Structure 1
Amino acid sequence: MAPPTPKACLRVEGTDIVDADGKRVILKGCATGGHTNMENFITGYPGHESEMRKALLGVLGQEKYEFFFDKFLEYFFTPSDAKFLASLGLNCIRIPINYHHFIDDMNPSVIKQGGFKLVDRVVDACAAQGLYTIIDMHTFPGGQNQGWHSDAGIHKALFWDFKDFQDRMTDLWVEIAKHYKDNTWVAGYNPMNEPADPDGVNLQKWYARVEKAIRAVDPAHILFLDGNTYAMDFSAFKEVLPNSVYAIHDYASYGFPAGDPYVGSPEQKEHLQKTYERKVQFMKEKKVPIWNGEFGPVYADPKLYPDHEKINSQRYDLLGQQMKIYQQDQISWSIWLYKDIGFQGMVYASPDSAYVRLLQPFLEKKKRLGVDKWGRDDSQVGHIYAPVIEHFKKEIPAEFVNKRYPQVWKIEGHIHRVLRETLMSEILCWEYASYFEGKTLEELEELAASFKIENCLKREGLNEILRKDAASE
């Protein structure tokens, strides 16, 4: 039996999110990353989604291309997925979206209705299980940040330089708000994932503009607003917009191959606490709710790491410590992520699935080359890039290197972004696509069905941590 529909939209009341009766609601869930917005480490392709899709179109042709992606989108998230997430005690699912589902860049004034049908399927499946949803715009024309997940295919955030791009996405949000304005299972809108505005002021202007445009058609739904520089910096934020929750992303270096292992030392715990406190200082000063929109470690592959059990145990401990910090402040959170091919997901495609078996040689090559930024292990290729990095450091004075935004990447991050995550990954897209050459419709459906929850494995250690926290409220 379906749960009763909420009488009204959730809203902000002081430091809390509350329901129609004024009862506090702490949103706890995950993101459906890899579905309506695909990412390289999640489903195994290199580079950016648009590049990958173009390469696959060239190999498969229009009919097979559309068939494969229709099936992929159908199978990746079904009512069974929503039922599983509800069984863990979660209550809110974040839906990252690639704007291309709604806008064709060659005909940008027309909003594609197929985008609504795609997102509605997830919203409705979640509602049937009593799960709220947050609509998250994860990519923007020109790129709202320098990352692969903005699907711009470049290493600059050009969204901030073109009013046309900003107009286009403001108009899209108006249409989304019109569509969902009466849906009380939608907890709210996350207008922009991980903005990275080099000047720091353009983001505030766009937030003020899109908030006003959304409120004109939908005055009720909450806005979930990410901080600048990948949801980690609120130093330029001066005012609080009404009925808005402010969002951090709180990844810990201890949860990744390049970071120190987490041993639970007092120093490490203090570092986690201080990092979190720095990010939420704005919210605490302004007395508004906090939403941690992304966090979570990655996990070691048994095939690659003989000590994978020890590594993963440390990362579960890390996650548990982070959860303790969030419990203290009773903040809402959404872990990254729900489903992938075995790197970070709560659920993942089986190593015996058609998709993973087909791509296994390529996946191993990608890991060896370290072309995906997320969780990259440089043990096999670090020596190749080290001389390039040293060359840049030697020839460019540090005062000029430090002007390159985001400064936190340092010169190493910028070199890797251009050489590995953009250039090498873009070329590798054609190799990825070649694995699909000559596949029949039946074979393509089997590949897509690798992501059905019935064909996936569950990361029980992770899910048990989430289940316990969800039950602790």
Structure 2
Amino acid sequence: MALRAPKACLRVQGTDIADSDGNRVILKGCATGGHTNMENFITGYPGHETEMRAAMLRVLGREKYDFFFDKFLEYFFTSSDAKFLASLGINCVRIPINYRYFMDDLNPSVIKPEGFKLVDRIVDACAAEGLYTILDMHTFPGGQNQGWHCDTGIHKALFWEFKDLQDRMVNLWVEIAKHYRGNTWVAGYNPMNEPGDPDHVNLQAFYRRVEKAIREVDAHHMLFLDGNTYAMDFSAFKEVLPNCVYAIHDYATMGFPAGEPYVGSPAQKERLQKSYERKVEFMKAHGVPIWNGEFGPVYASADYADHEKINGQRYDLLGQQLTIYRKDQISWSIWLYKDIGFMGMVYADPDSPYVQLLKPFLAKKKRLGLDKWGRDDGANPKVASVYAPVIQHFRDEIPAEFVDGRYPQVWRVEGHIHRVLRETLFSEIMCGEYASYFADKTLEELDALAASFKLENCAKRDGLNEILRKDAAVKGA
């Protein structure tokens, strides 16, 4: 039997999120990334979802293509997943969404009901277990940032340059708000994931516009507004919008393969604290709630000789971050719930049909360092040596005051070169090789491949889940 819905929508109350009785609510959760918005390192394909899907369609044909992806979407998140998350004490699930589930680029004025049907199923499964949901628009036509996860296949954020693209997304948010107004299990709307506005002013104009449009049809749901430059920079923000929570993403380089090992030294703890404080300065200055919409380390697989040591260090890193968040009593959502073994709370079993089928391809992709989040060129010097001369060529030929000036500047020229050559061009071409592994599969075989992502067929990352369970059990923090 479904739980009784909250009496009213959660709302902003000073620096807190509060329920209808004025009690503080701290949202602690995870994201279903890789489901209604697929990402390369999560499920193993190269490049961008749209290119991968096109390659799969060519290989499978329409009937098998539709069957496989329908089954994938069905199995990836079910009532069993919601029950498992609730058992950990988690109280909120962020749902990253690819806008293409709601509109076709060649017919953008028509909002597809299939998108609501898909998201409703997740919202309802979570509500039945007493879990709030946050609806996160993760991709935008033209791209809201320069990264692979906005699924454009390019390295520019063209969304900011075309008003008609912005009009489309405001209209979509109006329809989403109409659909979910009155649903008190929906904690709120995350209108844009990780904006990358080079001019630092277009984002705020969009937020003002979309907030006004949403309020005209849904006056009660909160909005969760990401900072600019991938939710890390509020330095150009000038105002606070009503009933809005402001969102950071707080990844630590020490939790990634190319970062230094986390040993819990005072200097490392201080670095984590300073990084967090820089990101939340705007919220503290304006007295508004903070939501950390994404964070979390990645984990070494068993083929690393010292994987247990590495993962222990990264659990310690995560624990230290949660200590920081408890001190300020902020809400958070870890990234990620489910994948093929990189950072998920649960993951497709290494012996599952999907992982076994793609084992040679996944090894090749790892060796080539195609996924930004899984890349460790220090462990692949031969491959790294291919790109080193290109990087040096740029540095040799472009004056120093310009070479690292391209937005986002934090990438430096190395990041932009890898974005274009490895994460876009090389990966795009490799989509055909990925899809070829599915050639000639029967419907029964495709069903088994998709079913690799059923919770009952997945392994659980117990060390991570126990950390989250313990933090969720801390009352009032």
Residue in structure 1 matched with residue 259 of structure 2 by the alignment: 259
Residue in structure 1 matched with residue 443 of structure 2 by the alignment: 441
| Deviation of the 1:402 alpha carbon | 3.1
Residue in structure 1 matched with residue 57 of structure 2 by the alignment: 57
Q: Which moved more, 1:171-180 or 1:390-399?
A: 390-399
Aligned amino acid, residue 469 of structure 2: R
Q: Where does 1:353-392 land on structure 2 (aligned, <5 Å)?
A: 353-378=352-377, 379-380=379-380, 381-392=383-394
Residue in structure 2 matched with residue 312 of structure 1 by the alignment: 311
SS in 1 for 2:292: strand
Q: Distance in 2 between matches of 1:328 and 1:197?
A: 31
Residue in structure 2 matched with residue 421 of structure 1 by the alignment: 423
Q: Where does 1:31-430 land on structure 2 (aligned, <5 Å)?
A: 31-303=31-303, 305-378=304-377, 379-380=379-380, 381-430=383-432
Superposed CA deviations along residues 378-421 of structure 1, whole A, max 9, x for unmatched, are: 12122221111111111111211233100000000000000000
Aligned amino acid, residue 362 of structure 2: L
Q: Which residues of structure 2 form unaligned runs of 5+? A: none
SS in 2 for 1:264: coil
Matched, 1:469 2:471: yes
SS in 1 for 2:281: helix
User: What value does the CA root-mean-square deviation take over the aligned residues?
Assistant: 0.6
Q: Which moved more, 1:282-291 or 1:385-394?
A: 385-394
Q: Distance in 2 between matches of 1:398 and 1:99?
A: 39
| Deviation of the 1:2 alpha carbon | 2.6
Q: Distance in 2 between matches of 1:302 and 1:382?
A: 23
Aligned amino acid, residue 427 of structure 1: I
Q: Distance in 2 between matches of 1:172 and 1:210?
A: 10
Q: Distance in 2 between matches of 1:267 and 1:118?
A: 46
SS in 2 for 1:348: strand
Count of matched residue positions in the alignment of Structure 1 and Structure 2: 472
Superposed CA deviations along residues 90-132 of structure 1, whole A, max 9, x for unmatched, are: 0000000000000100100000000000000000000000000
| Deviation of the 1:375 alpha carbon | 2.7
Superposed CA deviations along residues 293-351 of structure 1, whole A, max 9, x for unmatched, are: 00000000111x10000000000000000000000000000000000000000000000
| Off by >6 Å, runs of 4+ in structure 1 | none
Q: Distance in 1 between matches of 2:165 and 2:420?
A: 23
SS in 2 for 1:107: coil
CA contact 2:93–2:131 (8 Å) conserved in 1: yes
Aligned amino acid, residue 415 of structure 2: G
Q: Distance in 1 between matches of 2:437 and 2:376?
A: 24
Superposed CA deviations along residues 133-152 of structure 1, whole A, max 9, x for unmatched, are: 00000000000001110000
Normalised by the length of structure 1, the TM-score is: 0.99
Q: Which moved more, 1:367-376 or 1:343-352?
A: 367-376
Q: Distance in 2 between matches of 1:446 and 1:384?
A: 38
| Deviation of the 1:257 alpha carbon | 0.8
Matched, 1:17 2:21: no
Q: Distance in 2 between matches of 1:2 and 1:437?
A: 42
Q: Distance in 2 between matches of 1:447 and 1:238?
A: 49
Q: Distance in 2 between matches of 1:190 and 1:357?
A: 36
Q: Which residues of structure 1 form unaligned runs of 5+? A: none
Q: Distance in 2 between matches of 1:244 and 1:118?
A: 26
SS in 2 for 1:103: coil
Q: Distance in 2 between matches of 1:449 and 1:109?
A: 34
Q: Distance in 2 between matches of 1:94 and 1:364?
A: 30
SS in 1 for 2:146: coil
CA contact 2:405–2:412 (8 Å) conserved in 1: no
Between the two proteins, what is the percent identity of the paired residues?
A: 80
